[in-house]
A and B are shown apart, each in its own frame.
Chain A
Amino acid sequence: MMPGDIVIDIERAGYRNKQVFENLKIRIPSGKITALLGPNGSGKTTLLKMLFKRIRYSGKILIGFKELSMISVREIARLISYMGEITLPDMMGLKVFEALLISRSSLYRGLIERQEDIREAEAVLRELGIEQLSERRLDELSSGELRKVVLGMALIKHPKYLLLDEPDSHLDMLSKIEISRIIKKYSGRTTIIIATHDPVFAVNTAEYFVLLRDGRVVDEGKLEHIIGNKSIEKTFGVRLKYIYENNRLVGIIPVYD
């Protein structure tokens, strides 16, 4: 085990009226991008939420040698960023720049952000290439723009662990590629886990794969391993055709039969 790895070894976990996992063992390598790949309802979101204490579990979860239950909520706020879809209530809008500053609010005491936080927000806008969105309201953005902003809200904390729940949902092809490119820039610096049901997005973004179906791990490993085992097929229950370009997997097409 490398320092910083996430090791999940749980007996059971889930919601009050619905158990999602039983005897789940997963190791997520540090400093890499890991994709949790699986169909809807396979437990991807539940798994991500478990990592910041939103789901009850029995068993062990180690985050860099430290048992999750021993890490305080405050510490988790500094360690982990989780971003799913966000919708603000109507008539209570926020501007992009404000949303970014709010996302840093767990890092400073008192109500007023520091100069440093403003600089960070400007840096994130630059890095994601969305400076022109700074003064726009979140509810006025397109899905693609909003996804980038949400990613920025997650990145601005400089978390050690970045949990992204379907960062590719509701996006057109170009936006998916752009989001993938941004996420890949942070590989090495941050341990990133993305939950997605799009194998094409997953294989073009992640370096390590955990395939989930009905709360069970179908397979985990590097790309060649899961392709060789035909694990994606088993996970989704469909036949797939792979497209290679210069020996690199660039596309996956489901076969309708």
Chain B
Amino acid sequence: MSIYRLFKRKILLFSIILLMLLSTLVLLGLLFIHLGYGSSSIIYEYRFNRIMAASLVGLILGLTGALLQSSLRNPLVDHYILGIGSGGVFAVMLFYLVSSATAALALLTIIAGIGGLAALIITIMVAEAVGGSDVAYVLAGIGVNSMFSGASLLLSYMVASKNPFIAYALVGSFVAVDPGWIPLLIFLSIISFILYIFTAKPLNALLIGDEYAAQQGYNPRVARLLIVLLSGVIGASVVACCGLIGFIGLVSPHIARLMLGTSDNRMVPIIAGIVGAILLLLSDNFSRLILAGPFLVSVGEVPAGAIVSLFGAPFFLSIMIRRFRGRGA
């Protein structure tokens, strides 16, 4: 048996382990974790929606994060660092400010997507204006991110009377998740999956280089722009559901690459999606537990986004350090 086939068997093994981990977390979240209010069907339904939302958002963020990193050839980006998520949150806040009506969830998703797209375009333009290196993208993203985060924070005070849960959008939480989100998130997951299937081969070519991609029959500029914009917009639109969750899109692809031992884009995005689902579900389960007192009677909860940042930020810093050590600078 060739080494290559053994390697493929390893991937299968990893997928099974990951799925088992995911289902364990789902079960834990469904049966045990959260407020000791008994076990009425309402509680189960609430828990179920939360688990679904957290897993699907994690899946979308992990998958689109992998697509963003590969298409930009940049190990340091995700929809949070590029400012896309903040742009989405800002657009949602702005909508609440100017509109008195409660919006359909699908409309909110589209608004978040448009906000994310605007932020992404600013980031790309700034980064390309200063040479388009990977660090230029990170720095431009930090600027755009701060701008939209600041503006969103300001707006959150103004719209708090209309939507008491709006402050959660700034840190990311599944506390106030509406069951109506589930079909929307399933739809977005399917769209990202289709995007992954169609972009795996061109992304592999782009990873090796633009000229290489061109002689493989792809237009590198068009392919890159399309993939970045589509995965950016999908990543941004989920903030309408759960607010801004950083680092999932950044760390999941890296964990997937480490596990697989390769950056082949035929495998990384989907495994990154599963890893993202596990990480976010883990964070959400954890967020429900962390303030639980004795007998698991919770006195409140920490937003999942905060937990993710708590663990994600050190990981990001370690990637930065490895990145610059490798460069010898």
Contact = CB atoms under 8 A, between A and B. Distances in A.
Contact of A52 (B2, B200, B215, B262): B215
Contacts of A112: 266
Q: Is the interface of A mostly helix, strand, loop or mixed?
A: mixed
B254 A91 contact: yes
A144 to B, nearest CB: 19
B217 A77 contact: yes
B205 A105 contact: yes
B216 A106 contact: yes
B219 A90 contact: no
Nearest to A85: B209
B266 A111 contact: yes
Interface string A30-71: 000000000000000000010011100000000000000000
A92 interface: yes
Contacts of A99: 208
Interface in B249-286: 254, 257, 261-264, 266
Classify the secondary structure of B's interface with A: helix
Given A52-B215, A94-B262, A94-B264, A88 B208 contact: yes
Given A77-B216, A92-B70, A49 B264 contact: no
B32 interface: no
Contacts of A98: 262, 264
Given A89-B75, A93-B263, A81 B208 contact: no
Contacts of A54: 211, 214
A226 interface: no
A135 interface: yes
B222 to A, nearest CB: 11
Contacts of A118: 2, 4
B322 A91 contact: yes
Interface residues of B, number: 37
Interface string B94-132: 000000000000000000000000000000000000000
Q: How large is the interface on A (under 10, 10 to 19, 20 to 34, 35 or more residues)?
A: 35 or more
A255 interface: no
Contacts of B42: none
Given A92-B263, A95-B262, A97-B4, A82 B134 contact: no
Nearest to B254: A91
A89 B214 contact: no
A73 B2 CA distance: 34
Nearest to B217: A77
Between B200, B208, B216, the greatest number of chain A beta carbons within 10 A of the residue's beta carbon is seen for: B216
B216 A105 contact: yes
B74 A89 contact: yes
A249 interface: no
A141 B214 CA distance: 24
A185 interface: no
A246 B257 CA distance: 55
A74 interface: yes
A81 to B, nearest CB: 6
A111 B70 contact: no
Given A92-B257, A95-B262, 15 more contacts: A54-B211, A54-B214, A73-B217, A76-B215, A78-B217, A87-B209, A90-B75, A91-B254, A94-B262, A102-B204, A102-B205, A103-B216, A105-B205, A105-B216, A163-B215
The 9 closest A-B pairs by CB, nearest first: A77-B217, A92-B263, A82-B215, A91-B75, A89-B73, A102-B204, A106-B216, A105-B201, A73-B217
